[in-house]
Amino acid sequence: MIDSVYDGMSALVKQIFFILVLELSMDLSTDFLRSFIAVCECKSFSLAAARVHKSQGAISAQMARLEEQAGSRLIDRSQRQFRLTKEGELFLDFAQQMVAKTDATQQSLQALHNNVHQEV
């Protein structure tokens, strides 16, 4: 489905479209996003599992769930080497942005909490 819609779109329009589809259709957990980022950075499910302190089976299940929710393959499993699909590359950028925004929000809330307690 996504492949037919993608035909003829510019790269920017594709990225915007993909992010909108994800935001509308997915219930994302930052835990899943962090696992996906780890898989991409490590280029290995087993190494990513060690990094995020989960079993390889849990990582595999999370990646399958993300792909199910996205309605598209994010990781190309047809080759021996780790490789993201086009959708996976877009999703990685989205995941990194969302995790960064979540972390920044948590830091801001913590700073606000600390300031409130210091003033009391």
**What would the pLDDT profile of 87-102 be if each residue is shown by its tens digit?**
999 999 999 998 998 8
* Mean pLDDT of the residues in the chain: 82
**pLDDT: which is higher, 4 or 51:** 51
Rounded to whole angstroms, the Cα distance separating 37 from 15 reads: 18
Which domains, ranges and CATH numbers included, belong to the chain?
Answer: 2-119 (1.10.10.10)
In degrees, rounded to 5, the angle at the alpha carbon of residue 106 between the alpha carbons of residues 88 and 62 is 30
Say yes or no to pLDDT of 6 above 60.
no
pLDDT confidence of residue 46: 94
